[in-house]
Amino acid sequence: METSHTDRTRPAQEYARHRTRHLRATLLALTAAGGLLLTGCSAGGGGQSDGSNASNRTGFPAPAPATTSGGDNSSEQDGEQTNTPADKIAPSPDYLSTFALDVDTASYGYARRVLADGQLPDPSTIRPEEFVNSFRQDYDRPDGNGFTVTVDGARTDSANWSLIRVGLATRTADDSDERPPAALTFVIDVSGSMAETGRLDLAKKSLDEMTDRLRDDDSVALVTFSDEAETVLPMTRLDGHRGKVHHAIDELETQSSTNLGAGVETGYATATEGLREGATNRVVLISDGLANTGDTNADSILERIANERRDHGITLFGVGVGSDYGDALMEKLADKGDGHTAYVSDDAGARKVFVDQLPQNIDLTARDAKAQVAFDPETVAQFRLIGYEDRKVADDDFRDDNVDGGEIGPGHTVTALYAVRTRPGADGHLATASVRWLDPNTRAPHEESGQLETDALHDSLAGASPRFQVTAVAAYFADSLRTQGDDSGSLPGNPGLDELADRAHTLAKRTEDKDVQQLAEAIDEASRMN
């Protein structure tokens, strides 16, 4: 919807007055109670795409970030007490939450694999946002590039605590001839550890199936790495050459050590040599991430190929395999390589990633996408963003388009879940959420925003939509795995694994979703071992 210059500037003026009143109130509270106000941010539907501040009826905008004094305090307001640890809540009186968008799912996939093997996953491998983003959502989608913004919430059983869901969705993936051609460089780990069943054999089978699904005008290159890296197939058009690609895949055999750094460097060099203008150029790294030779540091590996990433826009998609998996290295490579990660452990998962998702989501709809959520300090006392620790962005950098964000394609949804404590009796505006991204072709900046009111909160999680409930169960499950030994976790309203399992089984029947059924089974496994 178009907005006039007056409409766009009024929010900033009203915000300034609002901020002044709020600072005065905070000083009074500091004097009277010695406490620091802890506030955060949130969002809802509707918005604009001209980069200006979004407004709403309260005059609380998607603001230009304000400077705050920081601190690490979780003091209580309004005479209310909570047992939530101080380090689990927003550490400053900042009302803003800013992060780069992320569609990774590897953490959840690997956790399921470990649980199926009869073990609890290492808490350090649990990234809650990757659990949340592993499930289908019910968001409206835009017609063209960019995002829709959906914000909703539900009250939990913990006094004045709610879960608020910020949902961003791109247009539906189109497997038609309208997408640009793809130039995909597969960098394949052929080290000795990849000989285990479910590693190289799974990768070869998946690549064969994917090759048959790609279009004639797509191109594929293959790079392998063990002690050293080798380009076994330069960039090759599939038109008339699918047999050549299949032959190269069939010839892959395991060797010895894992020089992952050499593989990534050679992969990007091969992708650059075979670069196609007007195509989606992407490096797909398939590995167990257990680097033991050469450079094993993600920062220095990516520094060596920085020019290729920056100048040519080549993104990295990491696919993890294996019961022993170098999660931290693969996740960092993908995040800093402007891409994302997935984990596969069986034929069904591999088919989903390589055959269904990759061919459809070759195109990009947004570059350097970031979200900023602003909670209204008059209604919100505390907040916590669940996950995204590795994707945080400085508030001042939200509208700095030189700062990296996430690269997002069609068919994707991004969900951020917040635990929010509202002030007793709070009524009115809760939060404004904004997403900013660059057009993948022109790099022109765009924004969409939305807001949420207190009266839009569902009275309970059970009253929310089934997809919202699945999101909550996934987040609580990740929370329980992160805080092993404490069945109730650290998030307000976490009912414990037994109750979560019951909810997940009920939701699986209600949604008839195999992914939700797998979630219920994973929670069952964790509950038996906890």
- The pLDDT assigned to 486 comes to 64
| Residue keyed to tokens 């037994």 | 498
Q: What separation in angstroms does the CA of 179 have from each of 218, 360, 509?
A: 11, 9, 36
pTM confidence score: 0.81
- The pLDDT assigned to 62 comes to 43
- The pLDDT assigned to 357 comes to 80
The structure tokens listed for 113 are 């694999």
**Termini Cα distance of the chain:** 51
Q: Which domains does the chain have, with CATH numbers?
A: 5-100+145-171+370-458 (no CATH), 182-360 (3.40.50.410)
| Residue keyed to tokens 């170098």 | 326
Q: Which amino acid is at 430?
A: L
- The residues that bridge with 222 in the sheet, in sequence order, are 186, 233
Secondary structure of residue 263 in the 3-state scheme = helix
Distance CA 344, CA 385 (A): 27
Secondary structure of residue 495 in the 3-state scheme = coil
DSSP 265-284: HHHHHHHHHT--TTSEEEEE
DSSP-assigned letter for residue 440: T
Distance CA 357, CA 209 (A): 12
Angle between helices 514-529 and 466-482 (to 10 degrees): 30
- The pLDDT assigned to 416 comes to 98
Sign of CA dihedral 283, 286, 292, 293: negative
- The pLDDT assigned to 484 comes to 85
- The pLDDT assigned to 160 comes to 93
| Residue keyed to tokens 């005059």 | 59
- The pLDDT assigned to 338 comes to 78
Cβ atoms of 7 and 53 within 8 Å: the answer is no
Q: Which amino acid is at 296?
A: T
pLDDT in tens, the chain (530 residues): 333 333 333 333 333 334 443 433 433 333 333 332 233 333 333 333 333 333 333 333 344 433 333 322 233 333 343 433 333 444 344 699 999 998 999 999 999 999 999 999 999 999 999 999 999 999 999 988 899 999 999 999 998 999 999 999 999 876 555 788 999 999 999 999 999 999 999 999 999 999 998 999 999 999 999 999 999 999 999 999 999 999 999 999 999 899 999 999 999 999 999 999 888 899 999 999 999 898 888 888 888 887 777 778 888 899 999 888 999 899 988 887 778 899 999 999 898 898 888 876 678 889 999 999 999 999 999 999 999 999 999 999 999 999 989 989 898 999 999 999 999 999 999 999 999 999 988 999 999 999 999 999 999 999 999 999 999 999 999 999 999 866 566 899 999 999 999 999 999 999 999 999 999 999 999 999 97
| Closest C-alpha to 167, from 457, 422, 371, 388 | 371
Distance CA 92, CA 38 (A): 6
Distance CA 219, CA 183 (A): 5
- The pLDDT assigned to 530 comes to 79
